[in-house]
């Protein structure tokens, strides 16, 4: 009995393996924790520093001229303003006298942001040419208040009119593009016309082309974009709440949602995360996306981006929340689920049979794009016995001259094609396709002839590349491209077993991931059959009467 | 939010049971059943066993309903007192760890034999365990969601591969029905009942169910699907390989799938597909037992589960390498199966009676 027990005591090498088994994941855990902490730590440290700096700035502020009250001392105030804006050569000051009075005024504009035509016709013309009739001149100059009210009611035919009392405010607003009007003898100053500036016209979105569907994409101007959402249709429940982000460069950001559909908790969570952001200038909505996402270490995007207003509206109607940032045509949609990345608005615009077919095709393509090279490597280098004999023979025949192991062979081709693709994007439009042809056809053919790769592999790589183009969202496509390489390495080390492990690992990651509280894998799992109407198949619209349950909408009925 | 994410739906509970039951059994059941009964009537044994399991499951659900929101490790002390409960919990944890290790080793053996000849076992096992660990750190909710992804894939591929083998099927291999009486059927039940080990997970996951009153529904579905899978595997394997052929094969189902080729399809042989889904099934059994054992430790000592998840890895590995060869491995499986019958077939029944007598827990209904 004892000898039997002794026989089964593991050898030291097994014990070492057991130890490794424990230690390596512990080290990995430590590493990820440290990474996360380092990222978060920097964030909080920065916000501490910022608040300290802010208080300092505030205390220093009072001593300068920025809080200087505008009292109507025209000459001295104009001098002060000139002093303040001496470093900004694009600030223009136009001085003249209101007709019929002795009151001097100064119009403050900035180049490029103010519309000179409108200023000429609506501001300067009435003041300089019409002015105050003689009979009313006395009443006009009586007091600061009378000047103010006379100008507002009789002389400024402008919708957008505001007032400010301090010099700092005035200068700041002028620098941001508002037109300032300083009047002798009047307290404060007028701020007229909202900031303008050039914007491009509405164009078809480049990154998400559709054959059928609206040809309109967002532009760089926030007002245009929110306008596009409003323009979509008369809808009282669309809420657009405005926030300011950026510590140095202030930018407007709009959170859009349907107030009687979207879950309040979700809206609150989004708002909180937006307000917690700490960055000097969010250049693009990608900055916002990365600062509010749940898991920084995940290869999958947890915030969806789109240029299409119809897509945003569709998401809002499902109870999601959209984030629009000034200065970028890309709107963000949260929460996002994995299934969303493979869906295109066209699925809904086409009839349901063709829509479903295309959607299934796309899922197949995504699988191919992710796993095809990995399967090739595992079958060629580990299990040639598992492919049909004749196919195996023909593949082996073509591979005869290839001097590399399967992994290296695939890597050469895959990396080549990734480089080609990246180069194609950067090139000017007329050259791009030509480059693709040169790269894809000629290099592929030459590589086969030179015996570096086998023709079968060229087929695999080409099919993979084309499959990855079917994924409607560019960001999701990048994720899959990246994961494909990991899959290939798994296959190279552990064959088919490695591919299965890779798949399980990916699934484990997806089921653990959440985007704003919604499981990333939903609605596939947990099983919600009512949501499956819009998952693999796109059921007829008559059947899809309810909003997705996974987003916990306030109003689940689509009919209302 | 973290609280609600740890809740599982009724469907998820059923899926967990199914995935737990389906493990090494798919490949070995035909041989163990046929060896035990020596007659082709084992499919009747499977049906009878499933009824037995339903009964045992019913008892477990009844017991758990008296202690809503509590797992086996938490409510047993209230019934038996601390000392005995501690012992029972230890045995349960040991049982779960051994199952985990058993499945791990079987997986390593089969993978080493059919997919990765020459690859050292530690490489296979470590990858497998680390991926499992990554999943289990996500909690029961993540485990349930992954199982829900795995199960449909398993069932579809399983049905495809086995229906393709219908060309080999010989109905005469299954005849005569009840040719040698009822005794072989009962003998066969000894091994078929073991294949259903896994329903005991209800003792633990009932606590996480969002609607525990539907526990019986989960058990019923959790038993019907494996019964169907085992029936198909048994009938097709015996029908295809004949009684004698099944007895000499180590992995009869795999041999069945290996023994035919279909021309004109992309694949001519389907064992790779069967192995893929089978690895996934082993993965699910491994992860849920690993998780349940760690949960046992954490509830026994009232600590966070995470350190235990990590610490159980080397323990499972060491148990897995104990058997020297495949026959010892199968012996281990036999022992674990027998323990499961006593531990979860009869003990819950006595505990239910005791708790009724001592008026512990809530009286449901």
Do A489 and A407 form a contact (C-beta atoms < 8 A)?
yes
Residue listed under structure tokens 């819009």: A534
Q: How confident is the model at residue A65 (pLDDT cuts 50, 70, 90)?
A: low
pLDDT at A356 over 90: yes
Rounded mean pLDDT, A11-16: 86
In chain B, the residue whose alpha carbon lies closest to the alpha carbon of A496 is B115
Contact with chain B for residue A386, Cβ under 8 A: yes
What's the pLDDT band for A61 if we cut at 50, 70, 90?
very low
- pLDDT over 70 for what percent of chain A? 94
State the Cα–Cα distance between residues A124 and A103, nearest whole angstrom. 14
Cβ–Cβ below 8 Å for B268 and A389: yes
Query: Coil, helix or strand for A180?
Result: strand
Q: Is the pLDDT of residue A42 over 70?
A: no
Q: Which of A323, A398, A355, A102 is nearest to A213 (CA)?
A: A355
pLDDT at B1 over 70: no
What is the torsion angle, in degrees rounded to the nearest 10, for the CA atoms of residue A85, residue A86, residue A87 and residue A92?
60
A288 has pLDDT over 50: yes
Looking up tokens 């902490």 gives A37
The verdict on a CB contact (< 8 Å) between A504 and B313 is no
Cα separation, A132 vs A116, in Å, equals 23
Q: How is residue B65 written in tokens?
A: 């309903």
A335 touches chain B (CB under 8 A): no
> How far is the CA of B330 from the CAs of B99, B212, B323, B325, in angstroms?
12, 36, 9, 9
Contact B353/A at CB under 8 A = no
For an interface test with A, give the residue of B116, B294, B304 to mutate (most A CBs within 10 A). Answer: B116
**Banded pLDDT at A241 (limits 50, 70, 90):** very high
Q: How many CB pairs under 8 A join A and B?
A: 124
pLDDT at B360: 73
pLDDT band at A148 (very low <50, low <70, confident <90, very high): confident
Which pair of tokens denotes residue A79? 């001098």
Cβ proximity of A468 and A481 under 8 Å: yes
How do residues A296-335 score in pLDDT, each as one tens digit?
A: 889 999 999 999 999 999 999 989 999 999 989 999 998 9
Q: CA-CA distance, A493 to B146, in Å (whole number)? A: 24
Residue A49: predicted pLDDT:
52
Give me the residue from B115, B146, B321 closest to A508, CB to CB: B146
Determine contact: A372 vs chain B, CB below 8 A. no
pLDDT-derived band at B147 (thresholds 50, 70, 90) equals very high
| All residues at 6 or more sequence positions from A435 whose CB lies less than 8 Å from its CB, including other chains | A420, A423, A424, A427
pLDDT value, residue B365? 45
Which chain B residue has the Cα nearest residue A500? B276
Please answer whether residues A518 and A302 qualify as being in contact, where contact means their C-beta atoms are separated by less than 8 angstroms.
Answer: no
* Dist CA A211 CA A406 (whole Å): 39
Contact A501 B271 (CB under 8 A): no
Phi and psi based region of residue A517 (left: phi greater than 0; alpha: psi -120 to 50; beta: remaining) = left
DSSP element (H, E) containing B205? helix B202-205
Predicted confidence (pLDDT) per residue in A452-470, tens digit? 888 888 899 989 988 988 8
The answer to whether B311 faces chain A, any CB pair under 8 Å, is: yes
Please answer whether residues A525 and B149 qualify as being in contact, where contact means their C-beta atoms are separated by less than 8 angstroms.
Answer: yes
Split at pLDDT 50, 70, 90, the class of B114 is confident
pLDDT band at B3 (very low <50, low <70, confident <90, very high): very low
Residues B71-105 have pLDDT tens digits of 999 999 988 888 999 999 999 999 999 999 999 99
The mean pLDDT of B18-35, rounded to a whole number, is 87
Q: Name every residue whose Cβ is closer than 8 Å to that of residue B30 and which is 6 or more positions away in sequence.
A: B42, B233, B234, B237, B238, B241, B246, B252, B253
Contact list in B for residue A387 (CB cut-off 8 A) is 267
Q: Which residue of B has its CA nearest to A391?
A: B266
Q: What is the pLDDT of residues B195-217, one digit of tens each?
A: 888 888 999 999 999 988 899 99
- pLDDT greater than 80 at residue A97: yes
The pLDDT value given to residue B267: 66
What is the Cα–Cα distance from B215 to A84, expressed in whole angstroms?
Answer: 75
Assembly ipTM? 0.93
Return the minimum-mean-pLDDT range out of A158-172, A265-279, A397-411, B256-270: B256-270
Instruction: Decide: B198 and B29 in contact? Cβ < 8 Å.
Output: no
CA A4, CA A409: separation in Å to the nearest integer?
Answer: 50
Nearest CA-CA distance, residue B131 and chain A, Å? 6
Structure letter (DSSP) for residue A69: B
pLDDT score recorded for residue A62 = 44
Query: What span, in angstroms and rounded, lies between the C-alpha atoms of B204 and B73?
Result: 8
Q: Looking at A512-516, B22-26, B127-131, B306-310, which range is the least confident one?
A: B22-26
Residue B265 CB contacts under 8 Å (≥ 6 apart), including other chains: none
B121–A contact, CB cutoff 8 A = no
Q: Do A21 and B317 touch (CB under 8 A)?
A: yes
Which residues of chain A neighbour B280 with C-beta distances below 8 Å? 500, 504
B8-357 — its CATH code? 1.20.1740.10
**pLDDT score for B266:** 65
d(CA B201, CA B338): 16
Interface of B with A in 312-341 (CB under 8 A): 313-314, 317-318, 321-322, 324
Q: What is the pLDDT of residues B317-356, one digit of tens each?
A: 999 998 888 889 988 988 888 888 888 888 999 999 998 8
CB contact under 8 A, A386 and B133: no
B85 token code pair: 């409960």
Interatomic CA distance for residues A135 and B251, integer angstroms: 111
| Mean of pLDDT values over A133-151 | 82
Label residue B176 by pLDDT band (50, 70, 90). confident
Look up residue A380 and give its two tokens: 């060629």
Test B150 with A507 for CB contact under 8 angstroms.
yes
Residues of chain B found within 8 Å of residue A509, distances taken between Cβ atoms: 134
* Contact (CB<8Å) B272/A26: no
> In this model, does residue B6 exceed pLDDT 80?
no
Q: Does B364 touch chain A (CB under 8 A)?
A: no
Å between B361 CA and nearest CA of chain A = 31
Interface contact B6, partner A, CB < 8 A: no
Distance CA B5, CA A511 (A): 11
Residue A242 confidence (pLDDT) = 92
- Cα(B201)–Cα(B290) distance, integer angstroms: 12
Q: What is the DSSP letter of B154?
A: H
| Position A60 pLDDT exceeds 60 | no
Does the pLDDT value for residue B2 go beyond 50? no
């Amino acid at each position: 009995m004892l000898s039997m027990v002794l026989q089964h005591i593991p050898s030291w090498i097994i014990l070492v393996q057991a130890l490794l088994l424990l230690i390596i994941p512990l080290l990995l855990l430590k590493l990820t924790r440290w990474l996360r902490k380092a990222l978060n730590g920097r964030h909080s440290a920065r916000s501490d520093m910022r608040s300290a700096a802010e208080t300092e700035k505030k205390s220093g502020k009072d001593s300068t001229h920025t809080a200087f009250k505008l009292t109507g001392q025209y000459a001295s105030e104009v001098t002060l303003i000139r002093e303040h804006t001496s470093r900004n050569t694009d600030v223009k000051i136009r001085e003249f006298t209101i007709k019929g009075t002795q009151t001097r005024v100064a119009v403050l504009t900035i180049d490029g942001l103010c519309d000179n035509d409108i200023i000429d016709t609506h501001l300067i013309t009435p003041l300089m040419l019409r002015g105050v009739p003689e009979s009313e001149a006395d009443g006009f100059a009586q007091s600061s208040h009378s000047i103010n009210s006379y100008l507002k009611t009789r002389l400024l035919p402008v919708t957008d009119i505001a007032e400010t009392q301090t010099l700092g405010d005035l200068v700041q607003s002028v620098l941001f593009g508002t037109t300032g009007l300083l009047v002798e003898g009047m307290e404060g100053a007028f701020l007229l016309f909202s900031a303008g500036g050039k914007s491009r016209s509405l164009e078809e979105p480049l990154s998400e082309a559709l054959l059928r569907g609206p040809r309109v994409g967002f532009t760089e101007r926030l007002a245009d974009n929110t306008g596009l959402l409003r323009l979509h249709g008369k809808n009282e429940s669309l809420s657009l709440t405005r926030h300011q982000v950026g510590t140095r460069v202030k930018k407007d950001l709009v959170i859009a949602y349907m107030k009687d559909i979207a879950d309040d908790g979700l809206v609150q969570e989004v708002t909180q995360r937006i307000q917690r952001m700490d960055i000097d200038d969010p250049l693009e909505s990608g900055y916002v996306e990365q600062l509010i996402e749940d898991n920084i270490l995940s290869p999958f995007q947890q915030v969806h981006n789109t240029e299409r207003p119809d897509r945003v509206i569709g998401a809002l109607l499902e109870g999601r929340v959209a984030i629009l940032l000034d200065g970028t045509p890309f709107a963000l949609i949260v929460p996002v689920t994995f299934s969303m990345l493979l869906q295109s608005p066209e699925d809904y615009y086409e009839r349901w049979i063709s829509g479903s077919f295309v959607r299934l095709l796309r899922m197949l393509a995504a699988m191919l794009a992710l796993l095809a090279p990995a399967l090739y490597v595992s079958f060629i280098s580990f299990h040639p016995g598992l492919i049909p004999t004749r196919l195996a023979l023909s593949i082996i025949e073509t591979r005869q001259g290839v001097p590399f192991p399967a992994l290296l062979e695939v890597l050469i081709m895959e990396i080549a094609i990734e480089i080609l693709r990246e180069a194609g994007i950067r090139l000017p439009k007329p050259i791009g396709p030509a480059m693709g042809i040169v790269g894809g056809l000629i290099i592929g053919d030459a590589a086969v002839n030179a015996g570096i790769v086998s023709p079968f592999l060229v087929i695999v790589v080409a099919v993979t590349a084309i499959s990855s183009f079917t994924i409607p969202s560019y960001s999701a496509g990048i994720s899959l491209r990246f994961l494909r390489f990991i899959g290939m390495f798994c296959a190279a080390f552990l064959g088919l077993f490695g591919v299965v492990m890779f798949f399980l690992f990916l699934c484990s990651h997806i089921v653990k991931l959440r985007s704003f509280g919604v499981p990333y894998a939903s609605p596939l799992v947990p099983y919600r059959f009512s949501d499956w109407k819009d998952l693999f198949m796109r059921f007829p619209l008559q059947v899809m009467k309810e909003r997705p349950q996974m987003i916990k909408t306030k109003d689940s009925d689509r009919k209302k | 939010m973290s609280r609600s994410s740890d809740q599982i739906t009724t469907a998820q509970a059923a899926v967990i049971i199914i995935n737990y039951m389906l493990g090494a059994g798919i490949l070995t059941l035909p041989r163990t059943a046929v060896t035990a009964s020596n007659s082709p009537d084992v499919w009747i044994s499977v049906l009878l066993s499933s009824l037995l399991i339903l009964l045992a499951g019913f008892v477990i659900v009844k017991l758990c309903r008296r202690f809503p929101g509590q797992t086996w490790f938490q409510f047993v002390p209230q019934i038996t007192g601390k000392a005995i409960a501690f012992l029972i919990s230890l045995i349960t944890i040991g049982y779960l760890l051994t199952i985990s290790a058993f499945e791990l080793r079987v997986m390593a053996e089969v993978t080493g034999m059919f997919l990765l000849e020459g690859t050292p076992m530690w490489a296979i096992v470590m990858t497998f365990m680390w991926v499992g660990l990554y999943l289990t750190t996500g909690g029961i909710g993540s485990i349930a969601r992954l199982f829900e992804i795995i199960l449909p894939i398993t069932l579809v591929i399983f049905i495809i591969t086995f229906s393709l083998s219908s060309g080999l099927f010989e109905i005469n291999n299954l005849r005569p029905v009840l040719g040698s009486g009822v005794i072989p059927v009962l003998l066969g039940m000894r091994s078929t009942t073991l294949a259903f080990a896994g329903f005991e997970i209800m003792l633990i996951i009932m606590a996480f169910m969002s609607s525990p009153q539907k526990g019986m529904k989960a058990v019923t579905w959790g038993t019907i699907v494996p019964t169907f899978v085992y029936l198909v595997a048994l009938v097709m394997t015996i029908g295809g390989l004949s009684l004698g052929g099944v007895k000499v094969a180590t992995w009869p189902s795999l041999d069945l799938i290996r023994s035919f080729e279909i021309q004109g399809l992309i694949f001519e042989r389907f064992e790779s597909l069967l192995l893929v889904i089978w690895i996934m099934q082993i993965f699910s059994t491994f992860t849920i037992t690993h998780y349940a054992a760690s949960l046992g430790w954490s509830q026994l000592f009232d600590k966070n589960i995470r350190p235990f998840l990590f610490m159980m890895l080397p323990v499972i590995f060491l148990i897995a390498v104990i058997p020297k060869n495949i026959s010892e491995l199968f012996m281990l499986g036999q022992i674990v199966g027998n323990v499961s019958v006593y531990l979860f077939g009869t003990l819950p029944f006595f505990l239910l009676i005791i708790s009724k007598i001592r008026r512990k827990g809530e009286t449901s209904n």
